[in-house]
Amino acid sequence: MIIGSQEWSDLLFIHWRVAASDLRRHVHDRLSIDERDGSAWISMTPFTLRRGRLRGLPALPDFHELNFRTYVTLSGQPGIWFFSLDAANLLAVAAARLTVRLPYFPARMDRGPGWYRSERRTGQGSFQARWSEGAELGSAVEGSLEQFLVERYVLYSRAAGPLLFRQRVHHAPWPLRAARLESVHEDLSTAAGLSPPGPPALCHFSPGVSVEFEPFFPL
C-alpha cells in the first residue's frame, strides 16, 4: 500500500570501507551487517527532498537532507540502517522522531553547484563536501559494488522498545554520474559513536529519482 511520494534530487553518494565489528553495537541485533569486497560500508548522502507528500495531505516545502547509513539484511531482505538523518525541516524531524523513531536531527543546511554544507542546530554533527561531476554512467550494473550500495529498497528503524520496523520504497534504478570528491569534512561519524572513517573509497552523483513509499510495519 502506497501512502506517500517524494523526489530525492541532486544526491551525492560518498562511501567508506569499515570493519563490520566497528558497527555491530550501533546496529539492531536482529540485523546482519552486509559486507562486500572484504569489508562493511558506510555512506553519507546529501540531497534535496522535493514534493514530499503523504496521501491526502498538502505537499511539504522542499528541503535539504543528509543521511548517514550502513547496509544490512534481515531474513534475506537487504536494506539500509541509518545512524542519523539531518534535515532542514523541523516538522519532518519531529514527525519522524515521534512515529517510527528514525534518528532525525534538525540542521541548518545550504547547497550550490558542487558543494553542500550542514550543521546541526544543537550538539555535534557537521558536514561539508565539494565535488565535481563527470560522465554519465547509467544505472548500476547487475552484481556490481555500485548496485550493492545504491539499489536498496528497504529501510529498517528501531521503534518503541526492542521492536524493529521496516519500510519499503519504490523507485526506478538510480541514474548515476561519475563524481570526483574534492574535499569532505564531517563529524557525523564521531557524533554517532564511530571512529572517523578516513578517506572515502567511492563517490557518485545522481540527478535523482521519484519515490513512492509504503507504511512502516513492525517485524
- 142-164 pLDDT, tens digit per residue, is 999 999 999 999 999 886 667 89
Query: What pLDDT does residue 54 have?
Result: 80
Give the predicted TM-score (pTM) of the model.
0.94
Query: What pLDDT does residue 90 have?
Result: 78
Mean model confidence pLDDT for the chain: 93
Question: Picking from 14-18, 92-96, 169-173, 196-200, which range would have the lowest pLDDT averaged per residue?
Answer: 92-96
Query: What pLDDT does residue 53 have?
Result: 82
Domain ranges of the chain: 4-218
- 52-72 pLDDT, tens digit per residue, is 888 877 888 999 999 999 999
The residue-averaged pLDDT of 120-139 equals 96
Query: What pLDDT does residue 159 have?
Result: 64
213 contact partners, CB below 8 Å, separation of at least 6 = 2, 3, 4, 5, 6, 167, 168, 169, 170
Residue 217's identity, in one-letter code, is: F
Residue 216: pLDDT band with limits 50, 70, 90: confident
- 192-211 pLDDT, tens digit per residue, is 999 999 999 999 999 999 99
CATH topology for 4-218?
Acetoacetate decarboxylase-like (2.40.400)
User: Helix/strand/coil (H, E, C) string of 85-116?
Assistant: EEECCHHHHHHHHHCCCCCEEEEEEEEECCEE
Residue 40: name the closest of 164, 176, 194, 157 by CA.
194
* Percent over 90 (pLDDT), the chain: 81
